[in-house]
Structure 1
Amino acid sequence: MTQVPTHTLNDGQPLPAIGLGTYRLRGADGVRAVASGIDAGYRLLDTAVAYENEAEVGEGIRASGIDRDELVVTTKIRGRDHSADGAVRSVEGSLERLGLDRIDLVLIHWPNPSRDLYVDTWRGLVYLRERGLVGSIGVSNFTPAHLQRIIDETGVTPAVNQVELHPRFAQADLRAEHERLGIRTQSWSPLGARKPPFDEPAIAEAARAYDVTPAQVVLRWHVQLGAVPIPKSATAQRQASNLDVFGFELADAEMAAISALDDPSGRLWGGDPETHEEM
């Protein structure tokens, strides 16, 4: 089983350097996938209200037999629950569906700027953290302007911003802003799921050089950037492979060559945080 190193967040809480994404892992197969991921060594689990699988994630945790305190469980508040009171109701519902008495990390899933309630939602998360129902609080898909606004208006800096990040959409400016503010970057769709860049020479050549898969090269690139990738897989073999990225190190030139694949228009999922509305 792979031992995963951890980062320390700006609130002092630990965060594993790689996590298991659970988008679309539902039903009995979803439960088995979560349990097998934990068995492989994942200690960071990522779900969301919008994924409609919090119950399966909770059941997978219990089926794994792993001590709950070894895990960092993440969920996210969807747009329809924006507001301080809505955040409280959302987290209370997530706790019930997960079957847990606390959630280690809760994120605002999207800023939904046209509703202009993300600052109030953030205040609700601050309250929940103070109550002890939530360990760390953060955001997802926030721009520097969104981040600065919630910090300025509440005095509380997010621990995490989870954003689309992969070699063709490397978000260097946003990552630099995270570094300046002390926010940990998390990477969703870390492999560029719709169009994986595995045939790119920068990735294929590194995979041959280290006798690893192209996916492992890409995930190692995230790790060396200081970002926390959350790849999703339902198969035990691929889960283990995705986790096994701590036995080699990419050279500076290899990191630069992969980063050079970046395209400012390389967003794959069409969700521009300035306009996207997730309800």
Structure 2
Amino acid sequence: MTARPDRLTLSDQLTISRALTGLWQVADIEKDGAVIDPETGADWLAAYADQGFDTFDMADHYGSSEIIAGHLLARGGAPRPLAFTKWCPPPGPMTAEVVRAGVEERLQRLQVDRIDLLQFHWWTFEHPEWLDALHELARLREEGLIAELGVTNFDAAHLNLALSDGVPILTNQVSFSLIDRRAAGDLAEVCARHGAWLLGYGTLNGGFLSDKWLDKPEPQDISDWSKMKYHRFITAAGGWDAFQGILRAAAGIARKHGVSISNVATRWVLEQTRVAGVIIGARLGEAVHTADNLRLFSFALDAEDRAALDAAFAATTPIPGDCGDEYRKPPFLTASGDLSHHLDAIPKPFTPEPAGVSSTRVLTGSYWEDEAGYCRAQRIGDRVLVSGTTAIAGLDRPVAPQDAGAQTTYILDRIIAAVISLGGRVEDIARTRIYITDEADVLAISRAHGRVFGQIKPANTLVRVAGLIGDHRVEIEAEAILNRI
């Protein structure tokens, strides 16, 4: 068996262990208020690092994980362990001051001058400040406070949008397993096209992808939060019988190679296109699975193995939507289930203001709204009229000028944000009109439109025009009718 986990160079700044050590369970250990002694925790991390598992993944909300990692990094020594963390701010204005404060807090907790990988999470893309935040983070990267920049739970469309807009994103951390194979589709293609990488979490589907559950009945009473979440994935993928089919296929492969089902499940993810590494959770101070995790690098899946798994996949139902959708739209595949209450509590993207006796409107801060005298959208009774919208960030910066599909994604987010701010839903949009300049962009624009409206199917018109002002390849207007039964 190999003595150390494989390593991969992602950039001039980062060479990582392909089996990252996830620290999300620190929050669970500390949920009753007892905080892990940071030096003791650092000792536990050092034991992982000594065996080559020296790339640690954490977040601002994983209990004291950043503080524990900071105590480890403060000890010095070579090779220096890597600390990847996440910044998950609530949606709101992402000014330079707000973003810098978020990064500086990470630096202080980690006791470092530069964050190895800062991963950004955003709850809902209808709040356009996410792109502002990423550009601010890119500036802090240029300043030297961040070595590399990543994101978490971004779908293919929004990862492509950010990359096409010039944000130097190196990684996207997403759910990826034998049950949840969404990342192997469009997201992997976007990464391959732009040179980005995937970091997979949930590779054991909350522990269900293990020998323990082979040929066992479906659990009826689940109290563990992680298992509650990933049991929802099993249900969405076709249920317990389909899941057992995958387990049986993995068990046959495991016997063939002399490894565990968990090894097979994780190895499959590790071998997927553009996957840089897999994140394996560590319960500090308790069970240590480094010896078993090393078996990941003692074998490789062959054509027969992949065919057996593909046959098992055929009996399952694909997880709906794209990566990250489980946090943003039904069916919510989270431990607590329906997150509508959480999303409803997020402030509306734009603030409505009176526009007459019986109407309201929203402005988005575009230079042209004041210059030309119009609003982004106006509600009159149950009807919402949305002005022709282009991909503009800030006052007047064109977004992703070379990518019509990315511009369409950004425009539709702005349109939906306006409708939501005026009391509607995306499902209320009854008509869209699209103006394009280049017939070659039709497919990319149509696919971006279909990603949002594939089930809603509003009335639509698409027209090629002689030209649009500036670097805009597409402009869209919309109408919504609220309170439809």
TM-score scaled by length of structure 1: 0.86
SS class of match (2:326): coil
SS class of match (2:122): coil
Please tell me the residue identity of whatever aligns with 1:146.
H
Q: Could you tell me whether the CA contact under 8 Å between 1:22 and 1:45 is conserved in 2? A: yes
Q: For 2:41 and 2:132, locate their aligned partners in 1 and report how far apart those are by CA, in whole Å.
A: 33
Please give the residue correspondences for 1:147-158 in structure 2 after superposition, counting only pairs within 5 Å: 147-153=159-165, 155-158=166-169
1:195/1:263 CA distance change after superposition, 3 Å: farther
CA deviations 1:191-233 (Å, max 9, x no partner) are 1116326531121111111111221112221222252101102
Please tell me the residue identity of whatever aligns with 1:100.
V
Q: Could you tell me whether the CA contact under 8 Å between 1:2 and 1:244 is conserved in 2? A: no
Please tell me the residue identity of whatever aligns with 1:117.
E
Q: For 1:66 and 1:222, locate their aligned partners in 2 and report how far apart those are by CA, in whole Å.
A: 32
Aligned-residue offset at 1:8:
3.0
Q: 2:51 matched to 1:40?
A: yes
What is aligned with 1:246? Answer: 297
- Comparing 20-29 with 166-175, which one deviates more in the overlay? 20-29
Matched positions, count: 275
1:2/1:135 CA distance change after superposition, 3 Å: farther
Aligned-residue offset at 1:11:
6.2
What is aligned with 2:82? Answer: 72
1:70/1:211 CA distance change after superposition, 3 Å: same
Aligned-residue offset at 1:266:
7.4
Aligned-residue offset at 1:71:
2.4
- Pick aligned residue for 1:104 from 110, 116, 135: 116
- Pick aligned residue for 2:260 from 213, 218, 230: 213
Gap runs ≥5 in structure 1: none
Q: 2:281 matched to 1:232?
A: yes
Higher relative contact order (CA 8 A, sep 6+): 1
Q: Could you tell me whether the CA contact under 8 Å between 1:35 and 1:61 is conserved in 2? A: no
Aligned-residue offset at 1:36:
2.4
Please tell me the residue identity of whatever aligns with 2:48.
G
Q: For 1:270 and 1:184, locate their aligned partners in 2 and report how far apart those are by CA, in whole Å.
A: 16
Please give the residue correspondences for 1:129-148 in structure 2 after superposition, counting only pairs within 5 Å: 129-148=141-160
What is aligned with 2:60? Answer: 49
Q: Could you tell me whether the CA contact under 8 Å between 1:76 and 1:108 is conserved in 2? A: yes
- Pick aligned residue for 1:88 from 100, 119, 132: 100
Aligned-residue offset at 1:175:
1.9
Please tell me the residue identity of whatever aligns with 2:137.
L
Q: For 1:257 and 1:91, locate their aligned partners in 2 and report how far apart those are by CA, in whole Å.
A: 45
1:187/1:147 CA distance change after superposition, 3 Å: same
Q: Could you tell me whether the CA contact under 8 Å between 1:104 and 1:136 is conserved in 2? A: yes
Q: 2:265 matched to 1:265?
A: no
Please tell me the residue identity of whatever aligns with 1:162.
Q
What is aligned with 1:222? Answer: 269
Aligned-residue offset at 1:184:
0.6
Aligned-residue offset at 1:186:
0.5
Q: Could you tell me whether the CA contact under 8 Å between 2:209 and 2:261 is conserved in 1? A: no
Please tell me the residue identity of whatever aligns with 1:216.
N
SS class of match (2:289): helix
SS class of match (1:106): strand
Aligned-residue offset at 1:70:
3.1
Name the Cα RMSD after superposition.
2.9
Please give the residue correspondences for 1:120-199 in structure 2 after superposition, counting only pairs within 5 Å: 120-153=132-165, 155-171=166-182, 172-173=184-185, 174-193=187-206, 195-196=208-209, 198=211, 199=214
SS class of match (1:204): helix
Q: 2:8 matched to 1:7?
A: yes
Aligned-residue offset at 1:100:
1.5
Q: Could you tell me whether the CA contact under 8 Å between 2:159 and 2:190 is conserved in 1? A: no
Percent identity over the alignment?
27
Aligned-residue offset at 1:167:
0.7
Q: Could you tell me whether the CA contact under 8 Å between 1:221 and 1:250 is conserved in 2? A: yes
1:179/1:102 CA distance change after superposition, 3 Å: same
Bigger strand share: 2
Aligned-residue offset at 1:264:
2.2
SS class of match (1:74): strand
Q: Please say which structure displays the higher CA radius of gyration.
A: 2
SS class of match (1:245): helix
Q: For 2:320 and 2:204, locate their aligned partners in 1 and report how far apart those are by CA, in whole Å.
A: 13
SS class of match (2:142): helix
Q: For 2:193 and 2:155, locate their aligned partners in 1 and report how far apart those are by CA, in whole Å.
A: 14
Q: Could you tell me whether the CA contact under 8 Å between 1:31 and 1:59 is conserved in 2? A: yes
Q: For 2:324 and 2:168, locate their aligned partners in 1 and report how far apart those are by CA, in whole Å.
A: 27
Please tell me the residue identity of whatever aligns with 2:318.
P
Gap runs ≥5 in structure 2: 31-35, 215-246, 330-338, 347-485
Aligned-residue offset at 1:12:
6.2
Q: Could you tell me whether the CA contact under 8 Å between 1:79 and 1:112 is conserved in 2? A: no
Q: Could you tell me whether the CA contact under 8 Å between 2:17 and 2:52 is conserved in 1? A: no
Q: Could you tell me whether the CA contact under 8 Å between 1:169 and 1:265 is conserved in 2? A: yes
SS class of match (1:265): coil
